[in-house]
């Protein structure tokens, strides 16, 4: 077996054999296949796709590259959630403690930013002292004592995916449906959770731009999970406009704490509650009220214990970028469009994301929104505030924001998309 023949098979629109898939995943994990060779194969998969048999085998090979976890010793049923990535998507932060406050155990293995989308671990690392890297023993201890843990997948859990995940971010292959599905499901199946709710984003700020592609991805992942004995449900949710009023690491943590305190933007609250209800139902918990758990402070209590258990200080002041730049409305009227992708690219260019897998991110960088589609604005009022430690990045970020919004004449009617577009089970 050699990597060139594997690349050529997929380049020429052939079907990879089980033996080819098993070999290339194992060889890449061991370093026999180089990054540039795997990136060529990933691009061939992006362009030519994989059938269901190939995706299932690729996922199984990713799982087989490492260990599998087991939560049978826990006294609570386990429920996990995964988002395919969006702009301003801080939902995991309030969701994990909320579901834990309602009686489930939430072993949330999360990742870092991919392209224009933010990463949960990057956000949480803006909290002083907080640690993403936990041993399996530490993870189980945090989960057992607080009910929720958000951390990086350990080196032993689907190590092939850890390498490929970082490579996809910097080689333009993030959007490949087979690679998205296998990446997500290999970790979730190996993780050992009993149930899983998938948040599949749809729109300009998502990797799936159309409802048809989102359904294909959701159906593929639901089938992979169900066939592996994990109760799996997917919600298709809107990502044409950023979630909430912030896109950036510390900015989104601050907004998440507002949600846990009973406030925060309505779209973030609505999606958090919708996903919480799905997770609790999948875990078999029927009598819990997540809305009450937000209102009475019990979700906030779990958040504080969870952050502290991972070395973070829940009372610490979050980082603030040294420089700000305000973008104002050029005219009065109704804001009818605020493009999620453009906002995500601007946040990335300001330092909230990375261009190479080894790049650091700025904790305080990002974009703050002062209006959402449907709001009435007046000429000269702030629309966006850009945050960065490196002011020379402002011009680079502003290049992508020139056509990122539309303002219609006053009185123009506007109907927003529902936050949940469909459900796949």
Percentage of the chain with pLDDT > 70?
A: 100
pLDDT reading at 267 higher than 70:
yes
Torsion of CA 310, 313, 314, 317, to 10 degrees: -140
Mean pLDDT is lowest, of 20-34, 119-133, 170-184, 411-425, for 170-184
If you ran DSSP here, which 8-state letter would residue 327 be given?
E
Residue 125, CB half-sphere, CA atoms under 13 Å: how many?
19
Residue 50, CB half-sphere, CA atoms under 13 Å: how many?
27
Mean local confidence (pLDDT), 189-195: 92
Tell me the average pLDDT of the chain.
95
Mean pLDDT is lowest, of 4-8, 64-68, 249-253, for 64-68
Residue ranges of the domains in the chain? Answer: 3-49, 80-154+172-309, 323-408
Question: In which element (H, E) is residue 96 found?
Answer: helix 92-101
Largest CA distance in the chain: 66
Q: Which residue is listed with tokens 């959630």?
A: 81
Q: Between 295 and 114, name the one with better pLDDT.
A: 295
In angstroms, the CA 146 to CA 143 distance is 6
**Cβ proximity of 322 and 397 under 8 Å:** no
- Strand runs (DSSP E) across 160-239, as ranges? 195-202, 231-238
195 catalytic residue (yes or no): no
90 catalytic residue (yes or no): no
Query: Which of helix, strand or coil describes residue 424?
Result: strand
Mean local confidence (pLDDT), 85-102: 97
pLDDT of residue 162: 84
256 catalytic residue (yes or no): no
Out of 112, 187, 231, 354, the active site residue is 187
Mean pLDDT is lowest, of 3-17, 112-126, 183-197, 332-346, for 112-126
pLDDT band with cut points at 50, 70 and 90 for residue 359: confident
Q: Which residue is listed with tokens 């000269």?
A: 380
Q: Using alpha carbons, list the distances in angstroms from residue 62 to 25, 37, 47, 54.
A: 7, 17, 21, 12
Out of 82, 90, 116, 277, the active site residue is 82
Mean local confidence (pLDDT), 301-329: 98
183 catalytic residue (yes or no): yes
DSSP assignment of 346-367 equals HHIIIIIS-SSTT----SS-EE
Contacts of residue 173, Cβ cutoff 8 Å, sequence gap at least 6:
39, 42, 43, 45, 46, 167, 179
Mean local confidence (pLDDT), 11-23: 98
Question: In which element (H, E) is residue 402 found?
Answer: none
Out of 22, 161, 267, 342, the active site residue is 161
- 168, two tokens: 């996809």
User: Would you tell me how many other CB atoms lie within 10 Å of the CB of residue 392?
Assistant: 8
pLDDT of residue 357: 67
**Ranked by mean pLDDT, which of 142-156, 160-174, 344-358, 383-397 comes out on top?**
383-397
pLDDT band with cut points at 50, 70 and 90 for residue 244: very high
Percentage of the chain with pLDDT > 90?
A: 85
pLDDT of residue 172: 87
304 catalytic residue (yes or no): no
Out of 65, 83, 110, 183, the active site residue is 183
β-strands 333-338, 376-377 pairing: antiparallel
In angstroms, the CA 238 to CA 202 distance is 5
Contacts of residue 114, Cβ cutoff 8 Å, sequence gap at least 6:
85, 165, 168, 169, 174
Number of helical (H) and strand (E) elements in the chain, helices listed first: 16, 13
> What are the tens digits of pLDDT across the range 94-153?
999 999 999 999 999 888 886 788 899 999 999 999 999 999 899 999 999 999 999 988
- 89, two tokens: 């998507």
In angstroms, the CA 246 to CA 258 distance is 12
Give me the architecture of the 323-408 domain, per CATH: Alpha-Beta Complex (3.90)
Q: CATH classification of 3-49 is 1.10.510.10, yes or no?
A: no
Torsion of CA 324, 264, 93, 400, to 10 degrees: -40
Mean local confidence (pLDDT), 157-182: 88
In angstroms, the CA 355 to CA 362 distance is 13
Out of 168, 188, 215, 393, the active site residue is 168
Q: Note the helical H segments in 238-357.
A: 249-260, 266-282, 290-295, 298-309, 340-347
If you ran DSSP here, which 8-state letter would residue 45 be given?
H
Mean pLDDT is lowest, of 147-161, 236-250, 262-276, 285-299, for 147-161
pLDDT reading at 174 higher than 90:
no
80-154+172-309 adopts what CATH topology?
Pyrimidine Nucleoside Phosphorylase; Chain A, domain 2 (3.40.1030)
């Amino acid at each position: 077996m050699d990597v060139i023949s594997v690349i050529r098979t997929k380049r020429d629109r052939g079907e990879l054999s089980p033996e080819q898939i098993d070999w290339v995943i194992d060889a890449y994990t061991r370093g026999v296949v180089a990054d540039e060779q795997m990136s060529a194969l990933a691009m061939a998969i992006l362009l030519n796709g994989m059938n269901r048999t190939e995706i299932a085998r690729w996922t199984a090979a990713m799982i087989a590259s490492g260990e599998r976890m087991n939560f049978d010793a826990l006294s609570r049923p386990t429920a996990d959630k995964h988002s395919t990535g969006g702009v301003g998507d801080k939902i995991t932060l309030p969701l994990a403690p909320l579901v834990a406050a309602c009686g489930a155990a939430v072993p949330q293995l999360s990742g870092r930013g991919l392209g224009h989308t933010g990463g949960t671990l990057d956000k949480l690392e803006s909290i002083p002292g907080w640690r993403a890297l936990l041993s399996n023993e530490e993870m189980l201890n945090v989960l057992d004592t607080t009910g929720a843990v958000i951390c990086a997948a350990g080196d032993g859990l689907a190590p092939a995916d850890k390498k490929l995940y970082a490579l996809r971010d910097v080689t333009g292959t993030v959007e490949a449906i087979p690679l998205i599905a296998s990446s997500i499901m290999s970790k979730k199946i190996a993780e050992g959770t009993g149930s899983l709710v998938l948040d599949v984003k749809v729109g300009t700020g998502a990797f799936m731009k159309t409802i048809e592609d989102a359904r294909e991805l959701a159906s593929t992942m639901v089938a992979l999970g169900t066939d592996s004995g994990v109760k799996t449900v997917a919600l298709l949710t809107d990502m044409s406009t950023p979630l909430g009023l912030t896109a950036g690491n510390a900015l989104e943590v601050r907004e998440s704490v507002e949600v846990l305190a009973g406030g925060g933007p309505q779209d973030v609250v609505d999606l958090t509650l919708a996903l919480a209800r799905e997770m609790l139902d999948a875990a078999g918990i029927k009598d819990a009220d997540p809305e009450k758990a937000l209102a009475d402070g019990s979700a906030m209590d779990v958040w504080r214990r969870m952050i502290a258990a991972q070395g973070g200080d829940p009372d610490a002041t979050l980082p603030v970028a040294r420089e700000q730049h305000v973008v104002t409305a050029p005219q009065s009227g109704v804001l009818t469009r605020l493009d999620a992708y453009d906002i995500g690219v601007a946040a990335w260019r300001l330092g909230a994301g990375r261009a190479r897998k080894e790049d650091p991110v700025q904790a305080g960088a990002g974009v703050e929104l002062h209006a959402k589609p449907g709001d009435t604005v007046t000429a000269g009022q702030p629309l966006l505030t850009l945050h960065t430690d490196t002011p020379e990045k402002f011009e680079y970020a502003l290049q992508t924001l020139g056509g990122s919004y539309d303002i219609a004449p006053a009185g123009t009617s506007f109907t927003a998309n529902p936050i949940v577009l469909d459900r796949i089970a």
